[in-house]
Amino acid sequence: MKMRELSRASGVPVPTIKYYIRAGLLEAGEHTSRNQADYGEKHVERLRLIRALREVGGLSVATIGEVLTLSTGTRGGTAAAMGQAMDAISRGEWRDGGEEIEEVRALAKEVRDRLRAEGWLFRAEAGALEGLARALIRGYEAFGEAPEVEGVVRYAGPAMEIARREFAGRQSGPLEEGDASVSWAVLGTMMFEPVILALRRLAHEHLAIEQLPADVREAVAGDEA
């Protein structure tokens, strides 16, 4: 396909596509004449991945470059790219908020040991682990309390159950190697976070309403259409 068609298929404007080619994120097309090049499905997939990493993951072009270097490698490159992409996204989200780095590391280690004791497998350097430690420090700090690993443990079972259900339903997603798999993982992780959080808020409301006397409960959460 031509550049214009590639732009339509990927939803990325032509000047942006040209910029990605210059920046080394996207391979140039095969030249069919002096001013025209041919692009294929691989280019569409790559552009969709770059878009997901930028728009949904909030990553910079430089960071995307590092992630993509991994994904276009040998077998196993896709898994490495998925891990790197999620690490970079986690690092961006749980950016340094003034916590003592020693405290973050000590707590991350404590959380890691605790989750490993429950059989969890993850890389020691997983970005979400440090993010988890930072989030835990901030959470307890808001209540004027010191962080406790128990605050993680109570969520571990349900979080694993969520992940299992997501993996069980993933027959529909691409499991092969390649950019589409990385896009699928990034989008699936990020886009459904607000769904889970909204459900938790509704569940809080349910538990609060459940405690009301029957007649009040009816009036608050009645069956109006």
**Structure tokens given for 68:** 């993509």
Q: What is the DSSP string of 7-35?
A: HHHHT--HHHHHHHHHTTSSPPPEEEETT
Show the binding pattern over residues 96-115: x = contacts its own copies (CB under 8 A), - = does not.
-------------------x
Cross-strand partners of 33: 36
| Residue 36: its H or E element | strand 36-38
Task: Give the shortest CB-35-to-its own copies separation in angstroms.
Answer: 32
Nearer to its own copies, 24 or 97 (CB): 97
Q: Does the protein bind its own copies through residue 41 (CB under 8 A)?
A: no
User: Nearer Cβ to its own copies, position 15 or 119?
Assistant: 119
217 in contact with its own copies (CB under 8 A): yes
Shortest approach of its own copies to residue 125 CB, angstroms? 10
> What is the C-alpha to C-alpha distance for residues 64 and 50, in angstroms, rounded to an integer?
7
d(CA 28, CA 13): 16
34/201 with CB nearer its own copies: 201
Residue type at position 73: G
- Residue 76: CB minimum distance to its own copies, A: 9
**Residues 10, 20: Cα–Cα separation, whole Å:** 13
Write the binding mask 163 to 182 for its own copies: x where contact by CB under 8 A, - elsewhere: xxxxx-x-------------
Q: Does 56 bind its own copies (CB under 8 A)?
A: yes
Give the residue among 130, 12, 55, 42 at the shortest CA–CA distance from 64: 55
Please tell me whether residue 146 binds its own copies under the rule CB under 8 A.
no
28 touches its own copies by CB under 8 A: no
User: Does the protein bind its own copies through residue 215 (CB under 8 A)?
Assistant: no
